[in-house]
Structure 1
């Protein structure tokens, strides 16, 4: 619950709290997020709850369904592949552009340092997401940034699943991030693009392996 009741009445604050819960998988894929439940939990009006939910729908973190309200999307294998492949195209272009300047944004360094210091079991999604957003933003292309923003809501769902299921230790993520930063500083666009693409593909493959194993386990689960 948002501590300050005045802040809680601002849709953006409620949306931020909900976003954190969705990305961290405290609200699970397929779970409903209703105006009534949000209104009660955050002690806000139904219109405020609706506006907060609308923000997450616009970001891709929730989907509205006819006669069922909003739910956290359940991403298919094909969804995950498409999202990560699209993300790789955008981020590799952004990193190549950034490497031509040789400038690393301080925010990216700070978030990667947090990942380096985090225990292997610690949540990492917020710092990982912020690291990548900082790099794309620093590339200086408003259009690439808009394309990245359009993808990142659903990508955050994916990263949240990687995090919640402990599929990738933060220290390993930080190690790959450091190689990307080194390529930017050294002014090697092709290397920066290759490294970020491989980094994204690693995350994709770990999540797909988890999805495949979960699907197989469900298929072999005894039926009542």
Structure 2
């Protein structure tokens, strides 16, 4: 049973995550406990637990003499995040294929078609996440699915990166189609291979954006 402290910490973590995702708390911004405790009207104990949640998710980091700050994404971070995504998402779809029935495949097909017609970044993002979630859910490993969501969130919170990735939706649709066809054919190895290619192509785009930012 979840304690009140856990519940409060989770709510504060969700609020902080939203502030970071929206840019209200920018990269490098300090999370000043006194100010945030007052803002959320909570004690420092659940606030510290909330901050630690974000540290574990890789959204916040602690720095000497500065305390907790919103993490700035680096090329090293991108490589680490996408290397983990290759492992956990590749395995998730590999395990899922055997558990996919006609209904799951039909839902994935529908989401794939809706994504092709989506015209706003928000809708594209929602449908892209839904497409992958449908196909991964069959791995039946709740911890693995949570880890995938956390890794994706570390990239998606950077709005400029997410918008740039969504600009490549037409190209990604070809990759999505390859993943979907492998699942329809009941070929877990091919599904994993197609998923890995898809993740690797997204990584190259993100690394390119970061390189441009440094120029």
Q: 1:71-220, aligned counterparts within 5 Å?
A: 71-103=69-101, 104=104, 115=115, 118-122=118-122, 128-129=128-129, 132=132, 135-141=135-141, 145=144, 149=147, 153-161=150-158, 166-169=163-166, 171-172=169-170, 175=173, 176-216=175-215
Deviations 1:165-219 (A, max 9, x none): 6212274487344543343233121221122112211221111111011111xxx
**Structure 2: gaps spanning 5 or more residues:** none
Look up the match of 1:69: 67
Contact kept, 8 Å, 1:112 with 1:174, in 2: the verdict is: no
Counterpart-to-counterpart distance in 2, 1:165 and 1:192: 24
Shift of 1:91: 1.1
| Number of corresponding residues | 206
Work out the CA distance in 1 between the residues paired with 2:106 and 2:47: 35
SS in 1 for 2:165: coil
Q: Secondary structure at the match of 1:29?
A: coil
Secondary structure at the counterpart of residue 100 of structure 1:
helix
Higher helix share: 2
* Residues 180, 90 of structure 1: alpha-carbon distance in 2 compared, 3 angstrom cutoff: same
- The CA RMSD measured in Å over matched residues stands at 3.5
Change (3 A) 1:180 1:73: same
Q: TM-score, normalised by structure 1?
A: 0.72
Q: 1:121·1:169 contact (CA, 8 Å) conserved in 2? A: yes
Structure 1 residues 62, 152: CA separation in 2 closer, same or farther (over 3 Å shift)?
farther
Partner of 2:39: 41
Q: Is the 8 A contact 2:27 2:70 kept in 1?
A: yes
Distance in 2 of aligned mates of 1:97 and 1:64: 36
TM-score by length of 2: 0.74
Asked if 1 retains the 8 angstrom alpha-carbon contact of 2:155 and 2:162, the reply is: no
